[in-house]
Structure 1
Amino acid sequence: MSDSDKAFFTRASELIELANKQNQNKEVKTGEISASFMYAVARYNAWFGSTSFETKEQMQTHKQEMMEYYVERYKEMLEANMNDYIEHFDHYRKTQK
């Protein structure tokens, strides 16, 4: 695994750790934490996408293209992680109890 890959997974793990920490608050439902994370990544990616443009008109012109890119990447990552959980279901669920 390259240093870049290691850094990628370290950043992801830090975000997951934050979600797990928030999940310890029994007054907050896990689904609410998931929704907050989805909102946060959508907000961050909207900002990140805006950094490629000089004007809002330029961003508007490329909006659909950017949305398709982000949705497709999310779909790929979600499918890979769903497949991983299905393949290792008993192990993952056992370690979460």
Structure 2
Amino acid sequence: MVESTDESFYDRADAHINLSNEQLKAFENLGKVSASMMFGTTRFNAWVSARSFKSGEEMAQAREAMLNYFCEQYRMMLEDNLDDHINNFTHYMSATDA
């Protein structure tokens, strides 16, 4: 399931962040835009995961492993980004975009 980080990794991530920043201009609700982005990510990851199985039964057998993988990855990435924002709080909070 895991792929190494390539040259465009951060460009793709920034594109998703930019879309969310654009949505904030229309919806002006951080929580709702964040929730939609997280839901979209989970739905896409479920679809990507399903592509590697031959049946729903086979996928069901790997459900716990997939949950563990994605939750661990999310936590690791969130920890890194929280630490980055803690260490650069003044700089980041003076900007208007995520």
| Partner amino acid, structure 2, of 1:24 | K
Specify the alignment match of 1:32 in structure 2: 32
How far apart, CA to CA, are the structure 2 residues paired with 1:40 and 1:66?
Answer: 17
In the alignment, does 2:33 pair up with 1:15? no
| Partner amino acid, structure 1, of 2:16 | L
TM-score, normalised to structure 2, is 0.90
The answer for unaligned runs of 5 or more in structure 2 is none
Cα-to-partner distance string for 1:22-81 (whole Å, 9 max, x where unaligned) = 0111x4411000000110000001111101100111000000000100000000000000
- Larger RCO of the pair (alpha carbons < 8 Å, separation 6+): 2
How far apart, CA to CA, are the structure 2 residues paired with 1:44 and 1:96?
Answer: 28
How far apart, CA to CA, are the structure 2 residues paired with 1:72 and 1:51?
Answer: 21
SS at match of 1:95: coil
The answer for unaligned runs of 5 or more in structure 1 is none
Where do 1:1-97 residues align within 5 Å? 5-25=6-26, 27-96=27-96
SS at match of 1:24: helix
TM-score, normalised to structure 1, is 0.91
